[in-house]
C-alpha cells in the first residue's frame, strides 16, 4: 500500500477535550485492514497511545465504523481519547494537561494491518495532528490566593450569571485545573480548589478546616 494514496482527515481538528470527533480514512482498497492510532506526549515527556482496528467498506473508506479490536471496540467517536494508555517504557501517571491554556496535541495515524505494538518503528500511511482544548475562547482564568486558598477560578464567557461549582483536588505537584476549565467552557463557573496540599497546609502542617471551604465558596 503506497503512503501517498491514503487520505486521512479528522473533524474538528481543533475542539474541546470532551468534544466528539470524526476520523475519516479514504482511498484504501475495499476490505483493507488498518489500524487507526492516537499518540499523545504529555508535558512531562511521557507518551500515551490508543488504537482501533478497522476494515474498509466497499468503497474503500472507514468512517463511523466499529473498531474490531485494539484499546477499544465498537463505534466509539471518543475511543482514541478515553482509551489512551502509557506507551511501554513511559511512566504511568496523569495524562491530562497541567497548563490548561495550551492544547492537548494528539497525532492520529493510519497503519496497514491490525497492529498492537511497535508503532514507533513503522511508517504510517497517513497522519494528522489535532488539538484538544480545556478552555474555550473567552473563558477567564483567575488565580485565587486570598484567605490562604490555593485555587483557580474559571469564568465562562459572557455577562452571566452562571451556576457555580467547586472542583476539589489535591495531592499533586500542581493544582489540577482541567476539569474546572472544561466546565467553564460549558457555562459553569468553576473553582479548582486544592484541599489536601494547599499553601496554608504546607506552611503550617495543619489540615484545612471548614473555614477554608467557606472562604472558597465566597469566591465562586
pLDDT in tens, 183-193: 999 999 999 98
Of 88 and 110, the structure prediction assigns the larger pLDDT to 110
Burial 143-153 (b: 16+ CB within 10 A, else e): ebeeeebbbbb
The domain 3-133 having CATH identifier 3.40.50.9100: the answer here is no
Q: pLDDT band for 131, please (50, 70, 90 cuts).
A: very high
Residue span(s) of the chain under CATH 2.60.40.2240 come to: 3-133
Q: What is the pLDDT of residue 207?
A: 53
Beta-bridge partners for 108? 38, 128
pLDDT digits (tens, 9 = 90+) for 143-173: 988 777 788 999 999 887 899 998 887 666 6
* Residue 204 predicted with pLDDT over 70: no
The least confident of 17-26, 104-113, 186-195 is: 186-195
* pTM for the whole structure: 0.82
Q: pLDDT band for 44, please (50, 70, 90 cuts).
A: confident
Of 203 and 40, the structure prediction assigns the larger pLDDT to 40
Phi and psi at residue 181, in whole multiples of 5°?
-65, -40
Sequence-distant (6+) residues with CB within 8 A of 55 are 31, 32, 33, 34, 62, 65, 68
Q: What is the pLDDT of residue 212?
A: 53
Beta-bridge partners for 13? none
Amino acid at each position: 500500500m503506497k503512503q501517498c494514496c491514503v487520505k486521512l482527515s479528522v473533524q474538528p481538528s481543533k475542539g474541546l477535550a470532551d468534544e466528539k470527533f470524526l476520523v475519516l480514512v479514504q482511498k484504501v482498497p475495499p476490505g483493507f485492514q488498518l489500524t487507526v492510532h492516537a499518540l499523545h506526549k504529555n508535558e512531562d515527556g511521557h507518551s500515551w497511545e490508543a488504537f482501533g482496528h478497522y476494515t474498509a467498506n466497499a468503497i474503500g473508506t472507514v468512517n463511523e465504523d466499529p473498531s474490531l479490536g485494539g484499546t477499544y471496540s465498537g463505534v466509539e467517536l471518543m475511543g482514541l481519547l478515553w482509551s489512551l494508555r502509557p506507551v511501554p517504557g513511559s511512566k504511568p501517571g496523569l495524562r491530562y494537561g497541567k497548563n490548561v491554556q495550551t492544547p492537548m496535541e494528539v497525532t492520529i495515524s493510519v497503519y496497514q494491518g491490525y497492529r498492537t505494538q511497535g508503532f514507533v518503528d513503522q511508517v504510517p500511511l497517513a497522519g494528522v495532528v489535532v488539538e484538544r482544548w480545556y478552555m474555550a475562547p473567552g473563558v477567564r482564568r483567575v488565580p485565587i490566593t486570598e484567605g490562604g486558598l490555593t485555587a483557580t477560578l474559571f469564568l465562562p464567557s459572557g455577562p452571566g450569571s452562571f451556576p457555580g461549582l467547586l472542583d476539589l483536588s489535591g495531592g499533586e505537584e500542581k493544582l489540577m485545573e482541567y476539569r474546572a476549565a472544561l466546565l467553564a467552557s460549558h457555562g459553569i463557573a468553576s473553582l479548582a480548589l486544592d484541599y489536601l496540599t494547599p499553601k496554608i497546609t504546607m506552611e503550617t502542617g495543619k489540615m484545612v478546616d471548614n473555614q477554608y471551604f467557606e472562604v472558597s465558596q465566597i469566591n465562586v
